[in-house]
Structure 1
């Protein structure tokens, strides 16, 4: 169980009551252990001085137990317990009990309903399960009840919630993540609570039937009294009820993660005007929510209101950003990202001097970035990514001295303004990739970025880095991505990277590196992702590469000029998930030690590897998804280790020297297979009928082998071949094409006869090892070529 014991600095004149002290000791002993010693002070006879315990100053009776765990401030070891001990019943005067954030793994004990002096009960996130005991309705003095975030907690099978109506003093009610789908009278019961002002019903499986129009109209006093309402993550749909506009005391409204599709009449502008004290409005993650979101027909009606957080992200609003948003001077967070909002960014947003968070990313915004955004002196987060913004990254951004994250990637920006981020000493993440940026970045641009740990500048082909080889940056990067920044390094490996000891992700793909070998100083024990693909790096792989980078998970060295055999140190890379060595000049035997259960993608295609592949038995390729060995000199039988590769969907052994029969287990075991390429090998025997079991197969190429016999008639059951017109191919750039419905595609040379226009032929015929082309599927015209060309 996780505990955070807060000290209570109470000046008491009476010592702890002995019976209550003994009860607390019994409660302490119900825990298995105390790994972080938070209960170390729970000894002796004066419990009023124990951490997490509060007493009445005159009588000495225990009135407070606060053992809540705060994940944000505490990282101490967890506790375990299987009950909430009944010794708490001895605390007759206890009015405050907070056990939130701990793990009890038990049901809520019914005896809690006997602790009638309680005014505060918080069991949120305590891993309790089972049914909510209706005995809690006896706690009529409660002003706070929080049972939220107990994912296995349930209501009675009948959905009975009448016990809630007895809590007449309740002001805060938290029931998040409890299933109320059967409690159709829930809102009727809750609305009857005369003092309730805060209600959290997140993820309670509520539907719009719980909120009928008549029920809302009957509880106008409840609507006018409620200040906090969280109905997020439910199943509410159709129109957002107009009754919300009658919540004149509302300060916090969260309707996110529902299925609403129409906003109330008058839009947000009218809603804010009617609820001018509203501080938080969250309608995000209602994917189909449209309509006149900002109430453009009603004009500006919200000036002077106190809204601080507006979240409309992940919606389908098709409208422009109105100028009047810039008049909400208290705004701290504005999220319109991942929506269909379009048009230019209004300059009036620069008036939001309190704004700390601005997300306009992943939308349809176009035009220049207004320089007025440089006035947002409190801004810490700015996301303008994935739009159609043009022009310059404003020099005015240099005034955003509190900015920590800046994302402007995937736009059409062409220039970096002078000193636009030179003075941003607090900047931690900068992404300007995938634009049309041109010009030169020098050390001066980065001279004061002391906190920078993520820098992405890739896919700006005309951008150049003019940095001296002896530059010592003021930062320690964790992520550096300069992919396709062709002019960034002038063909040399950037020397300043030797100073970056914290890197865990580095991409220099397609940066015109032309070097005779990887530098020996290039090392990082933290590195998990390394991409040096599509360059002209020559020579053997460094002998110590596995020792220098033992934590690699993804390694892309494809499309270079590496040669010689693989160094044994690669076998130390036990965490590899992706290994791409394709399109090099590597040779020798591929070592089985690189084939680990973690490996998901392996591409060795277009090299000179020889010998057998994975000749040993075991389950060490059980998670492999893509295995590409094409155009090498591998030999031997089909590796039996693949027999357990249930998630394999690309298997490409084309142009090798594999021999023997095509094993039946391919069709019986490799149930996820979509692409099977065995062309140009030495396979013999017949085509196993078990291949007909591969229901997801899209490409089958057995051409140029020594196969014979009858083509299985059920090959016509490959219905997946008709479902997609395109396959994006191997994950490393090789294109898969195929012939379908008269269209002509090629899978790395697997060509269809007659340009995809041929006449259907019978499937029932014997295939000889001589010249013969047969159409395998009569209806969808997929071809398998058996002869050599």
Structure 2
């Protein structure tokens, strides 16, 4: 205790000593041991580098964007060449100070590094680093460590394209006040925290010359913050970084700015400087933004410019002629809304190497042909309303790529096309024009041609034999033309051909065995669909590289070998719409799309199909396949399962596992029976479920109403029965817009709880002319949802389903009771069919709210009361059937109603046009009076008989009804029925004598009883 007393005087004296030192500025030599910056020895730095290199995996697929796109950067495993025991200053990527030997530079860009960079990495022991590049590696999800702030001497930091993520530690970067270059580009999971942090960052970087943040999420940063950038800035690249707002125009006037890229910020607006715009800019890109207004005349002052991209914007007016002053320009892309251009302004741009004019830009070609571009290597003029072939191209000797697609060029392809590029032309794309005639033979002189696209024109004749001379050809697109005749066998000489597409022509030939059996090591995509190919396909050896094999919509016949695809690695197979028969060929396990629809295949579905675990679309529809659905389908995770129009039997198996990807299930027009599998409720992505025209039994599958994306439910023409119950869910069938339960045996009231929750049918403002999802692959439609409905009394197949097409069909069931008033809330409804039921009561007046209704069928019910006036005011209504009900009163007059000639037949108490009976000309006869007891008893008896008469008429239990009647009559003698009939006849005869009723009730009674029996 006594010893502790001495501590306090000691602490006091030590504190006083420190205060004296601080006050009297003790010499640097005294404080040096306390404040000297600690540096590793040279050998320790080499050890740190070795540990750094060993902390990563070397993977040749770890290199990033720079290694693929920038030819100046070589990609190789730098650190694998480092050797222990040698001077690290001699290692690849390492730079040392000339006098101290400390490591001051480290370039590990594109070094195949894969791994994480943690805060304890030996990288951060290299305190003297001034240049550091880790670009083009894969640090999968590493966050940028605050330890980077310890490199206080750093002038160049490049972390681009290396899979960093998280929030950029701006306080760390702000400590690197000597930074001249900072690149964090192409780390697409990096985010700038907020606008305030970004302002603080750029305020401290006073020497910054180059800033690259391409792909970084800057959605929280206001473009106004950029005004704080240093005047020393020479390059600013903010490509595709989610900037939004108005870009400050004074950035264009920074005195040292050479390069500015703002492209692909779709919510960034702004204008170009309209006056006094000059400066050292050599590269400007604002593609894909919302920059607007005119392109200023002062753009011609930027005479140092060599790259200008103003495409895909909202510029208007004319391209100013002063653009021709940019004589150093070599790269130019223009395009915008209502922007026009006179090609003559380019006459002075003799250094142009790349020219693209696009997006609604109207180009006026020179008439005198004086334009020439001696250095032009690539010309892209898609969709610029050209009507003639640019003649100036005949003198473009350096041209390598020519793209004139999506224009209106007419006439023949000029013969001089063979002179373009002096045989250097590698790509010629003339698709989607109005070219006619034959392919000129001069095209075959383009010996360097790799891509030839003449698709979507009016070219005719035969495919030239000389195309076989193009030995470098890799892609040939001749689809959607008028070519005829056979394929030239010379194509077998095109051994480099990878894509061959000739679909939608009139080519008459057999399958080119001579080609496919040849040594083709490059063919990847073969599309012969929609031609006149015919004959039997024999055993051939498909090229091992082939991944797409499309023979649909031809005239092939016969039986395909079961192992036709045994050596194939194809992922896309389409044999639909031919005359193939026999058993199904077994697809390879690599297949993603398999369609053999609309053929004559028979037999079972091969269980080997279940080995294709990557398959996404199965379309086996409209064949003669038998047996049941394989239970091994449980192993597949497809998005489309289409087995409709076959002869499949048995129950639908429980194959729908949780978290499946099924979007479409179509099993209609088979012989499937039993109850629906409860596992269908696992299909949370399901949009179309079509099980119509089968032999399914059981009750309504109420557990489907929780499916959040279901849009089409078709259970038409099955043997389903019972009441329609819901799952008690608050939101049932939220997206359903086609609901078909017709031709079943459902009874009870209409499902009012469902009608009240049909959200998609209440949305009157539905997107017009939009179809349900279409599947595409390689630009070709692979699958389109369709459904068959009864439309205006006629069965029609909707090949494509509009999202705005909304319809309910509950017809040919046993529904009874009234039509609920809330049916009028379904304002998007196009069609409603409730016919052939036992519905009673008045027609709801709320139906007058269905302003989009085009067809309405309430026929063959027991509806009473007058026709609501609102129905006559529905201007969209083009089909109406109210026949065979008990409607009364005058028919409302309207332009629409006057065209419905037979829509009101079978309602004896209706009157007025278009019926022949005028209103007020006859007296309706009252029914015979009966006592209350008799009326109640009669009503109960009639209801009992009539209720049973209706289902027999619809075929539900027809065979059972006949059998039961025969057995009872011949064996049990159903005296209860005879006695009941006798009682009815006695009472009616007695009433007839009393009231002289004109009708023979006993005849009608026996008629109804006979209906029941039959």
Q: Structure 1 length as normaliser, TM-score?
A: 0.75
Equivalent residue, structure 1, for 2:596? 508
Aligned with 1:697 (options 824, 829, 846): 829
* Contact kept? 1:694, 1:718, Cα under 8 Å: yes
Equivalent residue, structure 1, for 2:183? 122
Superposition pairs for residues 622-641 of structure 1, below 5 Å? 622-641=708-727
Equivalent residue, structure 2, for 1:713? 845
Superposition pairs for residues 514-529 of structure 1, below 5 Å? 514-515=602-603, 517-526=604-613, 527-529=615-617
What is the distance in 2 between the residues matched to 1:701 and 1:204?
50
Deviation at 1:662, TM superposition (A): 1.8
What is the distance in 2 between the residues matched to 1:720 and 1:17?
85
- 3-state SS of 1:300 partner: helix
What is the distance in 2 between the residues matched to 1:154 and 1:391?
61
Equivalent residue, structure 2, for 1:29? none
Deviation by residue 1:342-367 (Cα, 9 ceiling, x = unmatched): 33555444444444444444556555
Equivalent residue, structure 1, for 2:678? 592
Which structure is higher in helix share?
2
Deviation at 1:64, TM superposition (A): 2.5
Equivalent residue, structure 2, for 1:67? 134
Equivalent residue, structure 2, for 1:152? 218
What is the distance in 2 between the residues matched to 1:774 and 1:413?
63
Equivalent residue, structure 1, for 2:534? 438
Superposition pairs for residues 346-357 of structure 1, below 5 Å? 346-357=440-451
* Contact kept? 1:442, 1:465, Cα under 8 Å: no
* Contact kept? 2:179, 2:207, Cα under 8 Å: yes
Equivalent residue, structure 2, for 1:493? 583
Deviation by residue 1:732-769 (Cα, 9 ceiling, x = unmatched): xxxxxxx99796799xxxxxx9xx985389xxxxx999
Deviation at 1:430, TM superposition (A): 1.4
Runs of 5+ unmatched residues, structure 2: 1-60, 65-76, 80-91, 107-112, 259-278, 366-383, 762-805, 856-873, 882-890, 913-949, 955-1014
Deviation at 1:252, TM superposition (A): 3.4
Superposition pairs for residues 666-745 of structure 1, below 5 Å? 666-673=754-761, 674-721=806-853
Deviation at 1:684, TM superposition (A): 1.6
CA separation of 1:473/1:15 partners in 2, compared to 1, >3 Å: closer, same or farther? farther
Equivalent residue, structure 2, for 1:552? 638
Deviation at 1:629, TM superposition (A): 0.5
Which stretch shows the higher mean deviation, 131-140 or 421-430? 131-140
Please state if 1:759 is matched with 2:924. Answer: no
Deviation at 1:388, TM superposition (A): 4.1
Equivalent residue, structure 1, for 2:1009? none
CA separation of 1:664/1:530 partners in 2, compared to 1, >3 Å: closer, same or farther? same
What is the distance in 1 between the residues matched to 2:99 and 2:758?
69
CA separation of 1:175/1:279 partners in 2, compared to 1, >3 Å: closer, same or farther? same
Q: Structure 2 length as normaliser, TM-score?
A: 0.60
What is the distance in 2 between the residues matched to 1:91 and 1:401?
59
Superposition pairs for residues 640-655 of structure 1, below 5 Å? 640-641=726-727, 643-655=731-743
Equivalent residue, structure 1, for 2:688? 601
Deviation at 1:581, TM superposition (A): 1.1
Equivalent residue, structure 2, for 1:382? 476
What is the distance in 2 between the residues matched to 1:138 and 1:703?
78
Please state if 1:215 is matched with 2:283. Answer: no
- 3-state SS of 1:523 partner: helix
Superposition pairs for residues 11-410 of structure 1, below 5 Å? 12-13=95-96, 37-39=115-117, 43-44=121-122, 61-69=128-136, 77-79=140-142, 81=143, 85=146, 87-88=148-149, 90-100=151-161, 102-106=163-167, 109=170, 112=173, 115=176, 118-126=179-187, 127-129=190-192, 130-131=194-195, 133=199, 136=202, 144-153=210-219, 156=222, 159=224, 166-167=231-232, 169-170=234-235, 173-177=237-241, 178-179=243-244, 181-184=246-249, 187=252, 193=258, 196-207=281-292, 209=293, 211-217=294-300, 219-222=301-304, 225-227=305-307, 229-237=308-316, 239=318, 242-255=321-334, 259-261=336-338, 264-266=341-343, 271=346, 275=349, 277-283=351-357, 286=359, 296=388, 299-301=391-393, 303-311=395-403, 315-319=406-410, 326=418, 327-328=420-421, 329-337=423-431, 339-344=432-437, 345-362=439-456, 368-410=462-504
What is the distance in 2 between the residues matched to 1:744 and 1:239?
53
Equivalent residue, structure 1, for 2:698? 611
- 3-state SS of 1:65 partner: strand
What is the distance in 1 between the residues matched to 2:181 and 2:239?
15
What is the distance in 2 between the residues matched to 1:470 and 1:668?
54
CA separation of 1:600/1:448 partners in 2, compared to 1, >3 Å: closer, same or farther? closer
* Contact kept? 2:205, 2:230, Cα under 8 Å: no
* Larger-Rg structure: 2
What is the distance in 1 between the residues matched to 2:249 and 2:63?
38
- 3-state SS of 1:692 partner: helix
What is the distance in 2 between the residues matched to 1:740 and 1:387?
43
* Contact kept? 2:115, 2:140, Cα under 8 Å: no
Which stretch shows the higher mean deviation, 685-694 or 160-169? 160-169
Equivalent residue, structure 2, for 1:727? none
Between 1 and 2, higher relative CO (CA 8 Å, sep ≥ 6) is seen in 1
Deviation at 1:66, TM superposition (A): 2.1
What is the distance in 2 between the residues matched to 1:133 and 1:78?
26
* Contact kept? 1:124, 1:147, Cα under 8 Å: yes
- 3-state SS of 1:449 partner: coil
- 3-state SS of 2:611 partner: coil
CA separation of 1:397/1:334 partners in 2, compared to 1, >3 Å: closer, same or farther? same
Deviation at 1:198, TM superposition (A): 3.3
CA separation of 1:297/1:437 partners in 2, compared to 1, >3 Å: closer, same or farther? closer
Deviation at 1:438, TM superposition (A): 3.2
CA separation of 1:774/1:607 partners in 2, compared to 1, >3 Å: closer, same or farther? farther
What is the distance in 2 between the residues matched to 1:341 and 1:535?
39
What is the distance in 2 between the residues matched to 1:428 and 1:291?
40
What is the distance in 2 between the residues matched to 1:660 and 1:479?
48
Equivalent residue, structure 1, for 2:93? 10
What is the distance in 1 between the residues matched to 2:134 and 2:552?
49
What is the distance in 2 between the residues matched to 1:774 and 1:693?
30
Equivalent residue, structure 2, for 1:731? none
- 3-state SS of 1:708 partner: strand
What is the distance in 1 between the residues matched to 2:809 and 2:99?
79
Deviation at 1:324, TM superposition (A): 5.6
What is the distance in 2 between the residues matched to 1:580 and 1:198?
55
* Contact kept? 2:152, 2:175, Cα under 8 Å: no
- 3-state SS of 1:199 partner: strand
What is the distance in 2 between the residues matched to 1:175 and 1:307?
29
Deviation by residue 1:17-64 (Cα, 9 ceiling, x = unmatched): 99999x99xxxxxxxxxx95343897458966xxxxxxxxxxx94233
* Contact kept? 1:278, 1:306, Cα under 8 Å: no
CA separation of 1:505/1:104 partners in 2, compared to 1, >3 Å: closer, same or farther? closer
* Contact kept? 1:637, 1:659, Cα under 8 Å: yes
Aligned with 2:577 (options 484, 487, 500): 484
Runs of 5+ unmatched residues, structure 1: 25-34, 49-59, 724-738, 747-752, 762-766, 776-786
Deviation at 1:250, TM superposition (A): 3.6
- 3-state SS of 2:673 partner: strand
Deviation at 1:584, TM superposition (A): 1.2
* Contact kept? 1:281, 1:309, Cα under 8 Å: no
Deviation by residue 1:270-301 (Cα, 9 ceiling, x = unmatched): 85x755554444445x2575665568486235
CA separation of 1:480/1:325 partners in 2, compared to 1, >3 Å: closer, same or farther? same
Equivalent residue, structure 1, for 2:753? 665
Deviation at 1:92, TM superposition (A): 1.7
* Contact kept? 1:20, 1:90, Cα under 8 Å: no
